Amino acid sequence: MIVLPARNEGPRVGRVVAEVRRILPGVPVVVVENGSVDDTAAVAARAGAIVLRSGSGYARALRAGFAYALQAGAPWVVQMDADEQHPAAALPGLLHALEDADLVVGSRFLGASGYRVPVHRRTAIGALAAWASLCAGQRLFDVTSGLRAWRPEALAALVGDYPEDIADANLLVRAVRRGLRVREVAVPMRARAGGRSMHDGPGSALFALRMAVLTAREGVGPRIVAPRVGVGPV
């Protein structure tokens, strides 16, 4: 199952849903609309998506989508953005990588070609990745990537206390610390096709600071060494 959080993505979400359905025909696509003031929900429904609504915010949208996927018995779950940055052609590769991992992250920083992340953003993500790696005890690279594939057992282990407001680097650290096998694979991503990223604007510095604090909190306490999930094929 594909889960797409979407807020004010009316001009883009229909193309994303269509692209996913072309690459993975028959796989349910769930768009979780969270606080839009445009026609995001209507466009997604016309494109063939299942449309849910959640409270405002990216993390709340993900939590709603994940809960729906678990209740539906999905054999795997992929989260991706609705702004056309994540190519649907990369999805089969993520699912293949999920055969020996519990969580697979599509990474912009492992040698994949694609759009060049602006220097200031790349520097900020690199610093946060170094901090998250220290907190997790595992090298992490693209800690803000919104392209992630999950085993349902991994989601079940985290969704009960899933963060309500921020779910980026802090969630990766939580996953590693709880014994989940987290793997990154190179994905050639595209530039955002319009709209506005939640990481842009004057609040981005405050967001980064809060993320660093939440990430540090996830690194506190004992680490579960043995993997808890990931038994059997995807």
Q: Which residue positions in the chain have pLDDT lower than 50?
A: 199, 201, 226-227, 231-233
Q: What's the structural domain count of the chain?
A: 1
Residue 26 belongs to a domain: yes
> Is residue 94 within 8 Å of 106, Cβ to Cβ?
yes
- Residue 62's nearest CA partner among 141, 136, 130, 147 is 147
pLDDT tens digits, 158-194: 888 888 888 899 999 999 999 999 999 999 988 867 5
Residue 132 belongs to a domain: yes
Residue 226 belongs to a domain: no
pLDDT tens digits, 129-157: 999 999 999 999 999 999 999 999 999 99
Residue 228 belongs to a domain: no
Residue 202 belongs to a domain: yes
Residue 159 belongs to a domain: yes
Residue 38 belongs to a domain: yes
Read off the CATH number of the domain in which 11 is found: 3.90.550.10
Range of the domain at 28: 2-218
Is residue 66 classed as helix, strand or coil in its secondary structure?
helix
Contacts of 45 (CB under 8 A, 6+ apart): 31, 51
Q: What is the pLDDT of residue 232?
A: 43
Residue 137 belongs to a domain: yes
Question: How far does the chain reach from its first CA to its final CA, in angstroms?
Answer: 12
Half-sphere exposure of 218 (CA within 13 A, CB side): 31
- Cα angle 119, 124, 128 (rounded to 5 degrees) comes to 145
Task: Say how many C-beta atoms besides its own lie within 10 A of residue 136's C-beta.
Answer: 22
Q: What is the pLDDT of residue 112?
A: 63
